[in-house]
Structure 1
Amino acid sequence: MAPQKNAAFAEESAEVQVLLASLTKTKDLTKRIGASLTRLDASGKMVKDAIGPIYNNTQQLQVTSRNIDRVNEQIEKLRKPLDAKGREENIIRAGPRNSGLNQYLGALKRVDRALSDLTASNLRSNQQTISEFHGLLSTGVNQLLELYRSSLADGENSIEPLHFLTKSLNFPTLSNEKTTYLSEVANAIVSASVQSAKLGQRDEDQGVKIYVELRGEYLHQSLQNLATASISTAKRAPNDPTVYKRGTNAISTYSQCLENMFLAEYANITRIFKGETVGRVFAATCSKCLNDLNKTLSELNGIIRSRILTDCFLAYEIIDIITPLSYRIEKQTGQLRLQISEMLRPVRDTARSSLTEILSRTRTQAETTTTLPPDGNTIPLVHETAARILTLCQFDKPLIHLLTSIGDGGWRNNAPSNVSANSLGAGSNTTPQSSTLNLADPSDSNPAILSNYLGDLIDLLLTTLTTRSQTLHRTKPLQAVFILNSIAVLSTTINSNPEVQPYLSSSRLDSQRKTASNLYLTAWREPSAHLLDTINTTASRPLSGSQSALDSQAIIKSLGSKDKDKIKEKFRSFNTSFDEQVARHKSFAMEREVRAILQREVQSTIEPLYGRFWDRYHELDKGKGKTVKYSKAELATVIASL
């Protein structure tokens, strides 16, 4: 056992000796590695201390190199405008006609770009050069403006608008070639003028000003004669009673030509200018013509106000023409409606006030009538009112809108509704309700309101004339005939004119006609009363209308002498009264319609009574005709002759 243990111990001891020997080697190796790292670190520090300054210098050199490159680039940029100055100056000094427009515009663009670059450099040394470039650019702009002016004025004299209107020709516009040319010049002017604006010289609108000046004058000269004609055709003798008729004033032609020329000019502007500038240029170009239109409307308004009963219809026509025109122009251009509407406001106010004025003056004229025709004929005022009603209906569209703005019944006030005296002047700031009405929109109006207005006018006239007739005419038949004649004149106007019939019917006059007819028949009550008898006879009373000669004889025989005398007296009184009424009837001046109406009324009143009376008592004078003057047929003939 002992030897085995020693052997095992010896083996383990040997292994320990090997491990110890390996550990010793490892320690020696670690020491050598540590010494190597120390030497390497020392060497790295030496390299760093040697290389660091060189690296830093290299970075600084790279930055310096890049800065130099950039400076060279800026110098090159600064040199380019300076190098180009001589070349561009020669082109610009030569002018666009000699150099050619495209080359000239190119030179201006390059100068403009060079000026922008120089200005952006903000170098004090460039100020002299910038000033020289700006002077060169200003010279170029001035030459462009002169070219622009001469091109616009070349061959564009005023035209005669009536020639194009009457022959249904398109109103002239600038050619496509010319508008393209002008557009290029205008854009160059705007672009070059930006530099002037930067220096505080606000001349960027000079091209626009030239266009507005020349084309505005072209429009003004072309339309001036029509504006003058609109005023001259409205002037008449102070005492001329003629009622204005549609289309007799030149305002219609004037407005059509104005609209066509404005739209033609708008087509030019859209091809020359761009964006928001279009509307501004269009409004400015038309401003001179709009001033003329404003003056024309103002003068026409003065003429209308001085002759409002006869010329108020011109105001209605102006409204009917100008208001839709403003909407059409706005639809095409987006401009001018508000300006035109404001110009129209005084005329609109006059038109609205005329509606009350017509009623007021009609009443005044009727009330101040001092004499009436002794034969029952009507008076001129009735014919004037009938003609006025017809003319009013011919202007139904603007009238309905005006009446709607006043309100149903508003015209019955003594003063014009919603229209003050100040509002008739141009300086009023109050816009009437009617200014917002669109004549193109039927929903803005109420057609029945015109019927109410015309009905009020007729009622006012007939009521006032009835009162005057009761004062000036001594007899009721004369009063009745006068009123019936007046009604007939109005009724004829209604029935014979399709323009009136949508708003008035002759049946509206039926109640006045019936009242006057009954008044006339009061004169025939006297002869009618003589045909009524209360004679008692002994014979049986025959049926009226069925008596024969034998019946009449029997009745006469049954009468006593006193009753016969009474019957004779009734015949004689009837004859006298009837003849007087016939003579008086024939002395009256009657419209055909009135004569027919009254003849039927007399016939229906007298003939049945006389026929009955005659059937019973005609044998009283045995056909001698002394007492019984008329047979039934003869009486019917006389009445039919009425």
Structure 2
Amino acid sequence: MMVAPRRGVYAEEAAEVEVLNANVDKLKSLRKKIGASLARLEESGKTVQEAIGPVYGNTQRLQTMNTNIDRIQEVIEKFKAPLEQRDREERILRSRPDRVGLQEYMSSIDRTSLALRNLKTTNIKSNQQAVSDLGGLLQVGIQNLEDVFRDMLRQESQPIEPLKQLTTKAEFPRLSSSKSGQLRTINQHISTHASQVSHPGELTPSARAYAHERGQYITLSLQNLATASLSTARKVNADAVYKQGSNGIGHYAQGIQGMYTAEYDSISAIFTREEWGPVLQATCQSSLATFASTLGNLDTHVKSNLLTDCYLAYEIVDVVSNTSLQLENRTGELKYAMSDALKPVRETAKSSLTTLLNELRTKIQQMQSLPTDGSTVPITSEVMTRLQLMTSYLPPVCSLLRSIGDGGWSAPSAGTSSTSIPTVKSFDVGADGKQLFAHYAADTIDALLAGLDSRAKNLLRGRSLQGVFLANNICVVERMIRNSELDPLLTSAQPKLDSWKKKASNAYLDSWVETSKILLDVHGKNAPRPSSTGAAIDSSAILKSLSGKERDVIKEKWKTFNTQFDELVAKHKSYRMESEVRRQLGKDVQTFMEPLYTRFWDRYHEIDKGKGKYVKYDKGQMSGALSSLA
């Protein structure tokens, strides 16, 4: 019973095995077929690959080319954009700014400038025409904007009369803040875009326009002051000495300073810091040329009237130097331009200091006669008046003396310009100008007195008269020093003046000395010597000790002395003396003569026993006579 079921199970499994084997055989057969198919397919794939490979490579190249073409088209479109924009901007820029609106016009310039910069960066030859077109268009726009800039300036540039500002102490006009703001905006656009079509270092078109319009405004405004400076220099009287402040140069310089300073403020509100100096220089160029020409004409006038109008040259030097300094401090500009304009007048003023000394010497040497009464000559007061006037121009004169150097006013010889011989002292800018002036004044006075002394010796007879003449002129010199601003300046010159006074006094006393020799004691053989103890002198005893011949000599001495003394007194009183001179010379005579006369009288007055035959003056009378000389 158990065996039968097992066999049945085995039979089923055997049947399944057979089925599986049959399926395996079928799979093997199928695999063979598939392998054969794959072999054929692989063979076919190789054939296809060989055929399609070149086509695929060409396709890749075509795709790259297509990409490049797309990019080129993008660039072309980018290049075409400014060209298309040019047409749009041209309609605006070819119009006037006032028609399209100033703001819109400047925006159009900005866009055109940007397009031009973009085209220039491509560096493609095909764009050169477009660059040229846009550049020309931008130039048109800048020119139209410049015209607006110029028109706005012209409206604000009506000439003024600076004298009104000076007399009323009003501010010189400046451009209003609103107008300056508009001009500044326009200038920024012009400056920014003009750099693409102009050379570096040049003034921008707006700067040139400003310099022209405002320069013309300044020149026309100052014209009347320039004319006044020349007209006030004309002389009615050829011998009239220039009076300080009578020329219009002071107002002219003040007008220049006021207008230039105001213009600097206006420029500062419109242009960049780097442009302030160049624009101011360009703006003032025309008016500075007129100023230089005016100073040149004044220089010619001074040269023609140097002895009387050298003070005008000093005033010009002072006024213009101060103006230049003020402008330099305020603007930092125009120093050299002002200095160049002043140079001819300054050189004339400098040379005048030497010329005046030479003219003084020449004028004295040309004197053909001198006062026979010993009175002064006009040249003394003329020279001292000149020195007094110079103290009114002390700053410029000191400046000129520093440039010449101590003693340099006497250095040049005839035909040699003082300005052509520089010395070490000429460069001593720290020299004491007042001390130099004191030296110059002392040299002038010394030249005056030396010349007068020399001419007196040649033209006046008698040492006394020569001494009086010299003393009188010294007195005038001292008085004019004492009564003026020269007094504190010339303290160092007093020793030299004292030396001249002593010389004059000695010359005057020369004749008195000759007369005083009569009073010198001549002792007889048996006459007692003069007492040195101060004891009383017995005139009678002295005379008794003398021989008759010796007494006759004493009598003759008294007669001769009386005659000569009276002549000297009469001559003294005939001289025309300054009060100080008469007083001083009288004192000198009394101091010298009275002790000698007193001593002689004490010894020999009993010669005529009081009858007055020989002894004309007693001691009191002689003292009175001598006192009357003062």
Query: Corresponding residue for 2:572?
Result: 585
SS of the aligned residue for 1:183 comes to helix
In the alignment, structure 1 residue 482 sits paired with structure 2 residue 469: yes
Residues 390 and 60 (structure 1), Cα distance of their counterparts in 2 relative to 1, 3 Å cut:
farther
Distance 1:43 1:450 in 2: 125
Q: Equivalents in 2 of 1:55, 1:437: separation in Å?
A: 95
- Alignment match, 1:230: 229
Report if aligned partners of 1:245, 1:391 keep a CA contact under 8 Å in 2: no
Contact 1:526–1:577 (CA under 8 A) maintained in structure 2 = no
Residue 354 of structure 1: aligned partner: 352
Q: 1: distance between equivalents of 2:392 and 2:257?
A: 24
- Which residue of structure 1 aligns with residue 74 of structure 2? 72
Which of 298, 301, 305 is residue 300 of structure 1 equivalent to? 298
Compared CA separation, residues 81 and 494, structure 1 to 2 (3 A): same
CA-to-aligned-CA distance 1:68-96 (integer Å, 9 cap, x gap): 1452354156346635844x556556643
Q: Which moved more, 1:515-524 or 1:250-259?
A: 250-259
CA contact 2:90–2:137 (8 Å) conserved in 1: yes
- Cα deviation code 1:513-552 (max 9, x no counterpart): 212211110111243233233254978667489576x944
Q: CA-to-partner distance for each residue in 1:203-241, whole Å, 9 max, x for gaps? A: 984433321221111111222222222222322246315
Cα displacement string for residues 299-318 of structure 1 (whole angstroms, at most 9, x for unaligned residues): 11111111222222332333
**2: distance between equivalents of 1:181 and 1:641?**
90
Cross-structure match for 1:466: 453
Return 5+ residue gaps in structure 1 as ranges: 1-38, 424-431
Sort the Cα spacing of 1:131 and 1:529 in 2 relative to 1 into closer, same or farther, 3 A: closer
Change (3 A) 1:397 1:105: same
Match of 1:639 in 2: 626
Matched letter for residue 216 of structure 1:
G
What's the counterpart of residue 515 of structure 1? 503
Q: Which aligned pairs between 1:147-546 and structure 2 lie closer than 5 A?
A: 147-193=148-194, 197=198, 205-237=204-236, 239-242=238-241, 244-274=242-272, 276-410=274-408, 411-415=410-414, 417-418=416-417, 442-443=429-430, 449-499=436-486, 501-502=488-489, 504-536=492-524, 543=531
Distance in structure 1 (CA, Å) of the matches to 2:256 and 2:112: 43
TM-score of the aligned structures, taking structure 2 as reference length: 0.80
Superposition deviation, residue 355 in structure 1: 3.0
- Once the two structures are superposed, residues 149-206 of structure 1 have per-residue CA deviations (whole angstroms, 9 ceiling, x without a partner) of 22112243223333433454443322222222112122323445456559xxx99844
- RMSD of aligned Cα (Å): 4.0
Whole-Å separation in 2 of the counterparts to 1:543 and 1:161: 89
- Aligned residues of 2:306 and 2:352 also touching (Cα < 8 A): yes
* 1:583–1:204 CA distance, 2 compared to 1 (3 A): closer
1:593-641 per-position Cα deviation (integer Å, ceiling 9, x unaligned):
3223212210111111122223334455555555433333332233223
Q: Would you say the 8 A contact 1:196–1:203 is kept in 2?
A: no
TM superposition score normalised by structure 1: 0.78
Cα separation, 1, equivalents of 2:48 and 2:87:
58
Counterparts of 1:8-87 in structure 2 under 5 Å? 54=56, 57-58=59-60, 60-62=62-64, 64-65=66-67, 67-69=69-71, 71-72=73-74, 74-75=76-77, 78-79=80-81, 82=84, 85-86=87-88
Judging changes above 3 Å, is the alpha-carbon distance between structure 1 residues 230 and 351 closer, same or farther for their aligned structure 2 residues? same
Q: Tell me which amino acid in the other structure corresponds to 1:355.
A: L
Asked whether the equivalents of residues 523 and 529 of structure 2 are also in contact (C-alpha less than 8 Å), the reply is no
What corresponds to 2:23 in structure 1? none
Please list the CA deviations of residues 460-512 of structure 1 after superposition, one character each: whole Å capped at 9, or x if unmatched.
32222222111211111111111112222222333343446435522112222
1:598 paired residue among 578, 582, 585: 585
The one-letter code of the counterpart of 2:172 is F
Report the equivalent of 2:106: 105
The sequence identity of aligned pairs, in percent, is 39
User: Does the CA-based 8 Å contact 2:172-2:258 persist in structure 1?
Assistant: yes
Query: How many angstroms does 1:578 deviate by?
Result: 1.8
Structure 2: distance between partners of 1:536 and 1:165: 91
CA contact (8 A) 2:589 2:626 kept: yes
Could you say if the C-alpha distance between residues 238 and 535 of structure 1 is closer, same or farther in structure 2, counting changes exceeding 3 Å? Answer: same
Classify 1:203/1:333 alpha carbon distance in 2 versus 1 (closer, same or farther; 3 Å): closer
| Residue type of the alignment partner of 2:264 | Y
Q: Given the superposition, is the C-alpha separation of residues 177 and 472 from structure 1 closer, same or farther in structure 2, using an over 3 Å criterion?
A: same
Following the alignment from structure 1 to structure 2, what is the Cα–Cα distance between the partners of residues 101 and 297? 45
The 1:551–1:77 alpha-carbon spacing in structure 2 relative to 1, beyond 3 Å, is same
Residue 212 of structure 1 aligns with an amino acid whose one-letter code is A
| Structure-2 separation of matches of 1:44 and 1:568 | 180
One-letter code aligned to 1:268: S
CA distance in 1, matches of 2:469, 2:588: 16
2: CA distance, partners of 1:620 / 1:138:
123
Distance 2:203 2:240 in 1: 57
Please tell me whether the aligned partners of residues 544 and 615 of structure 1 are also in contact (alpha carbons under 8 angstroms): no
* In structure 1, distance between residues paired with 2:292 and 2:468: 50
CA distance in 1, matches of 2:356, 2:306: 8
Question: What is the letter of the counterpart of residue 525 of structure 1?
Answer: V
For the structure 1 residues 161 and 543, does the alpha-carbon distance in structure 2 shift closer, same or farther, using more than 3 Å as the test? farther
Give the Cα–Cα distance (whole angstroms) in 2 for the partners of residues 57 and 634 of structure 1: 155
- State the distance in 1 between where 2:445 and 2:578 align: 18
Letter in 2 for 1:454: A
Instruction: Identify unmatched segments of 5+ residues in structure 2.
Output: 1-38
Partner residue in 2 for 1:26: none
For 2:559, the equivalent position in structure 1 comes to 572
